[in-house]
């Protein structure tokens, strides 16, 4: 039987965890998380990691396996995830991957350019400049040295800006000139399942999730990492708004309002990204039996 990775995608709060557990349970396999924040062991509530019962039901990988102090990027994720997938396929015909980090899903499907290692001192200096000068200054610098990448990068994403500058100051050439955009051919098949629903229902799910996070200790969790707020790993919806509250810049009520608003905006960006991929097969999150039936039919045709 052909080895198959089932990739379950969708916006935040849509219900990917529950669906992936039911799918993995049906096919007697395990789950790899494709979430850029669930990897951090210091963060649980704000990253919505599966609860203890869910983790007990199906084995999960790449959850709480790094610290917020570790440097982690899509290339690291690709290496770690492919190793896990290879190991799983030695004993399983199907593996499940789920998450809302768009780039992480992309690198598993299409690969990532083989870029040079970054000089550690250069990285540290740029991180310090981000702290002291702010992101806008670094964006202005990127525009001068790599206008092609500047035109297409998310200028609100410090990790992308810092990485492009790191590559330039390490190699002396623009980051955009090293991007080949060549798709790799994986030695396993990929079935993409997308979850979505009406905007109204999705917004309700987001608001409910944020309320539950607050009730179950998000404020305390954010306070426990507040002194490390300069780290890129904490430039995350749910934490940065509460950091602003801790600094007396906004009220707690305003922070909660902003978490909901910014989560809705992030969900919109996720859907914009995923909707460009015409190979994703879309379902409502309640259509688990239909999803399983679809996967079984696809596998039988492979």
String of DSSP letters for 38-78: TTBTT-STTTT---HHHHHHS-EESSS-B-TTS---HHHHH
Which of 178, 201, 218 finishes a domain?
178
Q: Is 37:47 a contact under the CB 8 Å cutoff?
A: yes
Sheet-wide strand order for 281-283: 60-61, 31-33, 94-98, 4-9, 189-195, 281-283
Q: Is 228:60 a contact under the CB 8 Å cutoff?
A: no
Given this model, what pLDDT does residue 230 score?
87
Q: Which helix (H) or strand (E) holds 189?
A: strand 189-195
Residue 272 and residue 204 share a domain: yes
Which of 163, 178, 193 finishes a domain?
178
Alpha-carbon distance 278 to 240, whole Å?
34
> What is the band of 302 on the pLDDT scale with cuts at 50, 70, 90?
low
Residue 200 and residue 165 share a domain: no
Supply φ then ψ for residue 191, to 5 degrees.
Answer: -110, 120
Residues 6+ apart with CB under 8 A from 97: 5, 6, 7, 8, 31, 32, 33, 34, 81, 85, 105, 108
CATH number of the domain residue 251 falls in: 3.40.50.300
Given this model, what pLDDT does residue 42 score?
98
pLDDT, tens digit (0-9, with 9 covering 90-100), for 20-69: 999 999 999 999 999 999 999 999 999 999 999 999 999 999 999 999 99
pTM of the predicted structure, to 2 decimals: 0.83
pLDDT, tens digit (0-9, with 9 covering 90-100), for 63-100: 999 999 998 888 889 999 999 999 999 999 999 999 98
pLDDT, tens digit (0-9, with 9 covering 90-100), for 134-175: 999 999 999 999 999 999 898 988 888 998 998 888 888 888
Token digits for 117? 């290692």
Residue 188 and residue 200 share a domain: yes
Total domains present in the chain: 2
Tell me how long the chain is.
Answer: 302
pLDDT, tens digit (0-9, with 9 covering 90-100), for 101-132: 988 998 899 887 777 777 778 888 899 899 89
What does DSSP assign to residue 192?
E
Given this model, what pLDDT does residue 184 score?
85
Token digits for 122? 């250069």
Domain membership of residue 255 as a residue range: 4-112+182-301
CATH number of the domain residue 124 falls in: 1.10.20.140
Residue 214 and residue 258 share a domain: yes
pLDDT, tens digit (0-9, with 9 covering 90-100), for 234-291: 989 999 999 999 999 999 999 999 999 999 999 999 999 899 899 999 999 999 999 9
- 182 by Cβ neighbours in 10 Å (0-12 / 13-18 / 19+) ranks as exposed
pLDDT, tens digit (0-9, with 9 covering 90-100), for 174-196: 888 877 767 888 999 999 999 99
């Amino acid at each position: 039987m052909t080895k198959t990775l089932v990739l379950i995608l969708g916006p935040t709060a849509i219900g990917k965890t529950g669906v992936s557990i039911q799918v993995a349970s049906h096919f007697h396999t395990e789950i790899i998380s494709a979430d850029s924040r669930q990897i951090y062991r210091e963060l649980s509530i704000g990253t919505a990691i599966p609860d203890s019962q869910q983790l007990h039901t199906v084995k999960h990988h790449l959850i709480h396996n790094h610290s917020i102090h570790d440097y982690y990027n899509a290339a690291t994720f690709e290496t770690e995830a492919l190793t896990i997938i290879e190991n799983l396929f030695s004993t399983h015909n199907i593996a499940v991957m789920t998450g809302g980090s768009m780039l992480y899903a992309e690198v598993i499907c299409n690969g990532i350019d083989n870029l040079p290692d970054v000089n550690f001192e250069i990285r540290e200096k740029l991180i310090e400049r981000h702290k002291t000068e702010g992101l806008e200054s670094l964006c202005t610098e990127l525009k001068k040295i790599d206008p092609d990448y500047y035109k297409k990068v998310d200028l609100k994403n410090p990790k992308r800006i810092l990485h492009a500058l790191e590559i330039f100051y390490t190699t002396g050439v623009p980051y955009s000139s090293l991007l080949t955009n060549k798709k790799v051919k994986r030695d396993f098949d990929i079935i993409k399942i997308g979850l979505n629903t009406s905007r109204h229902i999705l917004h309700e799910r987001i608001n409910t999730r944020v309320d539950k996070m607050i009730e179950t200790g998000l404020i305390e969790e954010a306070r426990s990492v507040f002194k490390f707020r300069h780290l890129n790993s904490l430039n995350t919806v749910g934490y940065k708004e509460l950091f602003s509250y801790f600094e007396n810049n906004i009220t707690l009520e305003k922070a909660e309002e902003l978490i909901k608003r910014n989560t809705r905006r992030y969900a919109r960006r996720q859907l914009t990204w995923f909707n460009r991929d015409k190979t994703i097969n879309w379902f409502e999150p309640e259509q688990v039996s239909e999803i399983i039936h679809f996967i079984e039919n696809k596998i039988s045709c492979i």
